[in-house]
Amino acid sequence: MTVIIANDTPPAIRGLLKRWFIEPRPNVFVGSVNTRTRSKTLEYIRRNAPGLGLLVIGTDRSSQGFSIECFGVTLRRPVRLSGLQVLAEAWSEMEATEVG
């Protein structure tokens, strides 16, 4: 299974993604494609929409069963903690002082 979360997907890229994925919400694509199809699709998107931010969660043989990748500018970044991948949100100094 693959989940792709994009920022402001152009119509041509959205049409391409709808060939293999469903779009349950705007700019969120979910589908079961093999690793090669996933990598070829992401390669095409990165080549033809270089400014597009993508968060890709896909099936993997890791202990978690999935991997997380980011391309372009996204609000969350994958971070490895104790061997596990988690998503970190971008914090500004003001937010950090308000929380703590």
CATH code, domain carrying 38: 3.30.70.240
pLDDT at 90: 63
What are 44-90's pLDDT values in tens digits? 998 998 889 999 998 888 888 898 888 888 878 888 888 888 888 86
- The three-class DSSP label of residue 11 is helix
CB-hemisphere CA count at 13 Å for 4?
Answer: 29
How many domains, in total, are found in the chain? 1
10 is in which domain, residue-wise? 2-99
Interior/surface letters 56-82, b for 16+ CB within 10 angstroms, e for the rest? bbbbeeeeeeeebebbeebeeebeeee
